[in-house]
Amino acid sequence: MLQTPSPPRLVTLVILSGLAALSLNIFLPSLPGMARHFDAPYAQMQIAVSGYLAVSALAQLLIGPISDRFGRRPVQLAVLAIFVLASAAILVAPTAETFLAARMVQSAIATSFVLTRAMVRDMHPGPEAASMIGYVTMGMSVVPMIGPVIGGALDEAFGWRANFAMLAAFGLATLILAWVDLGETLRGPGLGFREQLRSYPILLKSHRFWGYTLAAAFASGSFFAYLGGAPFVGAQIYHLSAAQVGYFFALPALGYAVGNFISGRYATRLGMDWMILAGTLTATLALAAALGAELTGLASAYTFFPAVGLIGLGNGLALPSANAGMMSVRPELAGTASGLGGTLTIGGGAALSALAGTLLGPGATALPLIVLMLVSAALSVASLLWVRARRRRLGV
C-alpha cells in the first residue's frame, strides 16, 4: 500500500464528495436537448439518472471491501481516473447507447461518498467522526443547489457537452489534488479478503450496525420519496411554475447544510445517538404537521415544502452520526460498512422514489406522498430506539 506523509485535508474530502454530487445533477437541465440530439425518447435518456443510481449502488457495495484491502488512497485515485476517462468518452459518444454506457462507467465517482466517510472514520473515533462527516457533507450539500443552475447556464452558452467537459476538467483537477494531498488513512497493510469474510458475520449480526444503517436508510428514504413525487405535487396540485418549484427545491438543501453545520459543532459533545434522535424526530414531527395540514384542509405549498426543508435539517443532524455509527462496529471494516450502508440507502431510496411516482396521478392529492414520507421518517426513529433498547438490555 502506498503511504503518503499526512492525512488528507478537510477541503480535499469536501471536493471529492462535491464532485460526486455534481456529477449526478449538473446535466439535468440538458436532458430534453440531449434526447433531441441523439433522437432518443426522453425516457431512454432518463436512464442517465436512474441507471446511474442503480450502478452506483452496486459500486458502493463493492468498493468498501476493496478499499479495506488495498487502502483508501489507491482506490480513490483509480476511481478519479476512471471518472475522467468516462467523462471524456461521453464527449465523443456518437449514439444514445454509447453515451449511456459511458455514463454508467462515470458513476464510479459515486463511491467517493463511501471512501471519504471511511477516511474520516480511519482518522477519528465515533463522535469525532460524526462531527467531521458533518463538515464534509455541509460543504457537499451546496452542490445540489448550484449544480443545475451551472448546468443550465453552460448548456445555454455552449450546448449540453459543456456540462461533461466541465466534469472532465473538474475530475482531472481533483485527481491532481488527490495525488498531492490524499494521504493514506488506513492503518496497517489492509485486511485481506479472506480475513474480511471471516469478520463479516460479526458485522452483519450486529444490532448496532443494522440499527444505524436502517436509521440512515429510512431518514434518507423520506427525501428520496420527495424527489420522486415533489415535481408532480408542485406542478399539478399546487400549480406552481417550474421556476417556483426550483426555488422550493433549495429548501431541503439549505436545511441539510444547516443540520450538517450543527452536527459538526455538537456531535462530539452530545454523542451520536442523541444527534440521530434529534434529527429523525425533527423530520418526523415536521411531516406529522404537514399531514395534519393536509387532513384539515389547510395544506398549501407553504406547508408542504417548508416541512421538507425541515426533513433536510433533520437529515443533516442525523446522517453524519448514523454513518459514523455503522462504521464504528468494526473499524477495520469501515469501508465495507460504509459501502453496504450506502448501497442500502441508495437502493432503498430509488425504490421509494419510484413508489412515490406510482402513488401520484391524475386527481391525486399530496396525501399519499406525505404518508409515505412520514412512515419512512418514523421508521428511522424506531431504528435508533431499537439500537438504544438493545444496548440497555445488554448493559453496554
Domain that holds residue 22: 10-190
pLDDT for 68 equals 80
In a domain, 325, yes or no: yes
On the question of pLDDT at 5 being above 60, the answer is: no
Question: How many domains does the chain contain in total?
Answer: 2
Q: How confident is the model at residue 96 (pLDDT cuts 50, 70, 90)?
A: very high
- Same domain, residue pair 29 and 158: yes
In a domain, 63, yes or no: yes
42-46, 120-124, 136-140: which range is least confident on average?
136-140
pLDDT greater at residue 175 or residue 155: 175
How far apart CA 108 and CA 57 sit, in angstroms, is 10
CB 7 within 8 A of CB 128: no
In a domain, 71, yes or no: yes
- Same domain, residue pair 325 and 265: yes
- Same domain, residue pair 351 and 247: yes
pLDDT for 189 equals 60
pLDDT for 190 equals 57
- Same domain, residue pair 290 and 163: no
197-226 mean pLDDT: 82
Q: What is the CATH number of the domain that holds 251?
A: 1.20.1250.20
On the question of pLDDT at 202 being above 80, the answer is: no
Q: How confident is the model at residue 191 (pLDDT cuts 50, 70, 90)?
A: low
Mean per-residue pLDDT of the chain: 83
From residue 357, alpha-carbon distances to 228, 273, 274, 276, 360 in Å are 5, 33, 33, 28, 6
Q: How confident is the model at residue 246 (pLDDT cuts 50, 70, 90)?
A: low
pLDDT for 92 equals 95
- Same domain, residue pair 180 and 265: no
How many C-alpha atoms does 10 have within 13 Å on its Cβ side? 13
